Amino acid sequence: MSNLLTMDGSTNVDKDMAKDKEQGQGIEKEQRRVSRGGSGRREEKNIQEYAKEATMIVNVAEVDGGKAEDVIVALIAKVGVTKVLAVRPRLNKEFEITLENESCCESLKDGLIIKGTQCEVRSLSTRECVVSFMHLPCYITDEEIKSKLNTWGVSATSEIRRRLYPGMSITDGTRYVRVKFPRDVTSLPYSTRFETAEGAQYFRVIHDRQVKICRLCMGPGHVMKDCPEFRCRDCGELGHFARECDAVRCPDCKKGLVKCECWMGAEGDEENNMETEETQSEEEEEEEQMEAREQDEGEQAGGTVGNE
């Protein structure tokens, strides 16, 4: 085919090339239009919002090989595929998850089951977390646990639940509950005491971001023996147990001079001495348990720091 000149001086080939170029530009414009939501203008309703109020933190420390894919699968099964907007990895085996809105987060209030393991989920914008009391005797009541929480100055915001073996309706003794922390409480003790059928025993307490604190004043950074509010029951001085006390004692009642009542007379001395010996025996036994527990907590805290 010959290149014929037109009246404007251009050839047929030039016109074909210009037409192809115009068509290509039209396709690019259409692709950009579709990518913006089907119209030529960007509309506010098509912009996805990522709200911190709809963002939560899930801890997968107890999940064997927990990955982002496992979290996503669990979330889709729980709230639906269209409700999950983001899953961001964090340090310490945590993931930050963002859902469509705050109401979706309510369904995760009691945790998320990932690969058959119940995982803690906490809100990003509140001072709440799940507290676990490990392997308690099953006959200990929920009221006893709530009373313990109240003594620590924290409050339960959910029902107390029992952890079950995977695929079974049999509990392993562990209870867990969502708890709200006031601003002056940073952590709970590593362990706490409950009265059992075999006497008083200590049980592990676990929650996220837990640090070593004193069971007496709930302050961080020291244990009860080093607490400025802890006093020896014999001499009233700070910083040591009664068995470590080197204060001068009465040769008769064996008490520290600040508690000696021998000057009040000999009436009822024998009965008082028996009661004193029983009381001292009970207190010494309790101090031994407390001291052993303080050592265990120190080792656990050291292990935690080492792992981090």
Q: What is the value of pTM for the model shown?
A: 0.48
* pLDDT at site 42: 42
> Which regions in the chain score pLDDT beneath 70?
1-46, 125-126, 225, 229, 233-234, 236-243, 256-258, 263-308
62/166 Cα distance (integer angstroms) = 13
Task: Looking at the structure, give the CATH architecture of the domain made up of residues 52-123.
Answer: 2-Layer Sandwich (3.30)
* pLDDT at site 166: 85
* pLDDT at site 265: 53
131/205 Cα distance (integer angstroms) = 7
222/219 Cα distance (integer angstroms) = 7
Report yes or no: 213 and 167 within 8 Å, Cβ to Cβ.
no
* pLDDT at site 154: 92
Closest CA to 64 of 130, 110, 119, 129: 119
Report yes or no: 186 and 220 within 8 Å, Cβ to Cβ.
yes
Cα Rg of the chain (Å, integer): 34
Residue 188 gets which letter from DSSP? -
What is the residue extent of each domain of the chain? 52-123, 132-206
Q: What are the residues whose beta carbons fall under 8 Å from the beta carbon of 271, sequence distance 6 or more?
A: none
At 265, the amino acid letter reads: G
* Alpha helix ranges (H) inside 111-216: 142-151
Q: Could you give the 3-state DSSP secondary structure of residue 258?
A: coil
